[in-house]
Amino acid sequence: MQAWLQKPLLQPWAKPLVFVLCLLPCAWLTYAAFNDGLGANPAEALLRSTGDWTLRFLCIVLAVTPLRQITGWTLLVRYRRMLGLYVFFYACLHLLCYAWFDMGLDWGDIVADIPKRPFILVGFTAWAVLLVLAATSPKWVLRALGGKRWQWLHRAVYLVVPLALLHFFWMRAGKNNFAEVAVYAVILATLLGWRAVRAIKK
C-alpha cells in the first residue's frame, strides 16, 4: 500500500472515525423519526431503511476481501470485524422495527407469525445466522476454536446473502418494485463471483 494511504489507517483515530461514520445512518433515522422527516408512514420508512442499510453493510463487508486483493491494502482487514458487526446491528434494528411496529412487541404473536409468513421466516433465519457470527466474532472465540474452524464457521456469511436477497425480493414483490433488488443482486453476485473465481484458480 502506498505510504500516504497506509499511514492514516494506522492512526489511533482511524477506527473510532469509521465507527462513527457507520453510526451516521442510525443517527439520521433517529433524528428524522423525532422531527417528522420520514414521510406519511414513519414506521414503514424505518422498517425499509434499516433493511436497506443491512444490505448495504453486507455489501461493504463482502467488498473488503476483493478490494484488499486487488489493491494490496492489507490493513483493510483491520476494519472487517467492525463492519461485520454493523451488519448485525442494522439487522437487529430491522427486526426490532418489525417486532415493534408490526407486532406491537407481542412476543407470543411474533413467535407464531414467523413460521406463517415465508418472507419473515427467511429474514429471521438470516438474522439468526448473523447472531451466531456476531457472537463468535471476539478474538478469544477465534483462539478457542482455532483459525481453520473459526474461518469455516464465518463462511456462513455466504448463506446470509441469498437469504437476505430473497427476503428483500419478497418485501418488494408486493409493490412490484424489483429495481433495487436487481442492483443488490448484481453487486452481491459480483462479490461472491470474485471469490468463486479465485477459489477455482487455486
Q: Can you give the pTM of this predicted structure?
A: 0.92
In this predicted structure, the answer to whether residue 36 has a pLDDT above a threshold of 80 is yes
Give the rounded distance of the alpha carbon of 10 from its chain centre. 25
What is d(CA 154, CA 83) in angstroms, rounded to the nearest whole number? 14
Average pLDDT (162-191) is 88
Is it the case that residue 3 has pLDDT exceeding 70? no
Over residues 66-84, the mean pLDDT reads: 85
Provide mean pLDDT across the span 163-175: 87
Contact 125, 167 (CB under 8 A): no
Q: 181 and 169 in contact (C-beta within 8 Å)?
A: yes
pLDDT in tens, 135-162: 999 888 888 888 888 888 888 999 999 9
pLDDT of residue 40: 84
